[in-house]
Structure 1
Amino acid sequence: MNSELLRGRLEFLREAEKLKDVLRSAHTSSGRQESTAEHSWRLCLMALLFEDQLGDLDLLQVLKMCIVHDLGEAIHGDIPAVEQGAHPDKSQQEREDLQFLARTLDAPARQRLLDLWDEYEGAVSTEARTVKALDKLETLLQHTQGQNPADFDYRFNLDYGRRYTSATPLFQALREQIDADTQRRLDAAE
């Protein structure tokens, strides 16, 4: 075993641990702010749970993208969906942050991570578009079950991510149920 390769990968894992402390705008059901790592975990769980409904997809590729899709946020944090329009360079920044994060990795491992992130970000495969849809649905699901602040913008959720969540009957059906929960939260807040 190459000790330099192992040392670099361990250092990467130490740096990636920072994702546990990156907070998102969503709140858990107990009222605590959710971390990006927690979001990524449940996104993986969603992919695994709906595997039998996803058709002929490469589940391993889907899970890899679920794990990698927000990894760059370990450096500069998360930009809430409602604020992303004000950050046109978000994608470029996240890729640069992922490159920085992966700097200690051997070239093949670093390239695998970047290729996964590029595939996801560009939505260039059915697997990537699936992860994009599940990512939006997981976010919406969290918003419907979290103890959110009184000024939480539920109305934004009703349009968020439709480009991806309208792509298949499964995503449409999930979206319909989550939107009904969102509407109930919106009605209760008014």
Structure 2
Amino acid sequence: MDSRLVAELAFLAEADRLKSIRRANVLMDLSRRENTAEHSWHVALFAMVFGASDRAIRMILIHDLVEIDAGDQPVYLAHDAAALAAAETAAADRIFGILPDGAAFIELWREFEGGATRDAAFAKRMDHVQPLAQVVMAPQPLPEHVEIARSMMQQGRVARFATEWPEILAAARTALDGGRPGGDLGRRLRFLAEADALKTVCRANTLIDLSRRENSAEHSWHLALYALILGRHATPGVNIGRTIRMLLLHDLVEIDVGDVPLHSAAGTAHGSPEIQMAEAAAARRIFGLLPEQQGADFLALWQEFEANETPDAVFAKSLDRTQPLVQNLRAGGAGWREYDVSYDDLVSRVGERIARGLPQVWSALEPEVKAFFYG
């Protein structure tokens, strides 16, 4: 395996740790605190819904990786801003320094932090509106979180929306007062609130540290990051920005259908006609929450991913097989042991799919896979 790919996979494995960083806010069903990886996915989905550029979405995918070292600091709590900035800068240098082209990612992260460019300002706006929406759109938000939200709207970091984005503040106040935000903005907020449920869908594979099973929201974020980092390995004709968008929404159907493990029931359940029909119905329902044209566009992008025929979809599907394979390799094959996966099973269901869109990556990983099964 060439040294650059080794470094890229090491970075992506290090990024897995973001799934264990807990934030102050909670999921909309109040079941637990949100983690920073699934927050990053949700913010990127907000950005996609509200018309972000590809560059702004890339910023969002990486913006909180520094929390692996520095942790999450709730904005409403007092803290030493200079010390936090120094800790996050050191974290950015270390984490992005794993990559051969890490300097470019450090600059992208710094651009986000500065918030001065149009893309950075947009990305910051999404990062600030997502926690607000999680409170105001929740069926029964915690009273203390409602109080924080009202304070932030009056004099906190979202108070600037009074001039920057007054419509969102008006919608938030309507929701906090028990009303239903209307128009296209209301439909977008309801879609994004529904998307929060993806954070409760558990997958078969575990985190690399074996602490728990991965959920489908953080998986979607990790896949988008894989697309960003492994884009140089894509076959000709692939649009990386478009593939990232495809991956951000590809598993939303699991809100209704759940995750169907690739290796369950000897592979007969995954991809069966029954599952395909259920997922298609879920896609129509979930994307149907959006304004009509946007919902149709998102549905078409999901259908393209499922059909697996265009260069973007082939690349996306290959990544969707690569990430769990790397997770299993780094976690000692926990998922493969649980589902009694053989080498031949893995090659036919995973390796061949990876090879179609990422032939160089599969060629590099295959010896490691073979060594796992055969020693």
| Alpha-carbon contact 1:157-1:182 (below 8 Å) kept | no
Residue 157 of structure 1 corresponds to: 152
Partner of 1:40: helix, strand, or coil? helix
Query: Structure 1 residue aligned with 2:80, among 80, 83, 87?
Result: 87
Shift of 1:127: 0.8
Residue ranges of structure 1 left out of the alignment (5+ in a row)? 185-190
Inter-CA distance 151–167: structure 2 relative to 1 (3 Å threshold): closer
Residue 29 of structure 1 corresponds to: 28
Residue 40 of structure 2 corresponds to: 40
How many pairs are equivalent? 173
Shift of 1:167: 5.2
Partner of 1:24: helix, strand, or coil? strand
Using the alignment, how far apart are the partners of 1:98 and 1:183 within structure 2? 41
Shift of 1:122: 0.8
- Which amino acid counterpart does residue 157 of structure 1 have in structure 2? M
Partner of 1:96: helix, strand, or coil? helix
Inter-CA distance 101–182: structure 2 relative to 1 (3 Å threshold): farther
Inter-CA distance 115–173: structure 2 relative to 1 (3 Å threshold): same
Residue 8 of structure 1 corresponds to: 7
TM-score (norm 1): 0.80
- Which amino acid counterpart does residue 124 of structure 2 have in structure 1? K
Residue 187 of structure 1 corresponds to: none
Query: Structure 2 residue aligned with 1:177, among 147, 171, 176?
Result: 171
Residue 62 of structure 1 corresponds to: 56
Inter-CA distance 22–145: structure 2 relative to 1 (3 Å threshold): farther
| Alpha-carbon contact 1:119-1:125 (below 8 Å) kept | yes
Shift of 1:87: 2.3
Partner of 1:34: helix, strand, or coil? strand
Inter-CA distance 37–179: structure 2 relative to 1 (3 Å threshold): farther
Partner of 1:80: helix, strand, or coil? coil
Query: Structure 1 residue aligned with 2:68, among 74, 87, 101?
Result: 74
Residue 372 of structure 2 corresponds to: none
Matched, 1:123 2:115: yes
Partner of 2:76: helix, strand, or coil? helix
Inter-CA distance 182–74: structure 2 relative to 1 (3 Å threshold): farther
How well do the aligned residues superpose, as a CA RMSD in angstroms? 2.3
Residue ranges of structure 2 left out of the alignment (5+ in a row)? 179-375
Alignment of 1:105-116 (within 5 A): 105-106=99-100, 108=101, 110-116=102-108
User: C-alpha deviations, 1:75-102, integer Å up to 9, x for none?
Assistant: 121001112x422122232121121112
Relative contact order higher in (CA < 8 Å, ≥ 6 apart): 1
User: C-alpha deviations, 1:136-185, integer Å up to 9, x for none?
Assistant: 111111122456555434333323323653454xx22112212333455x
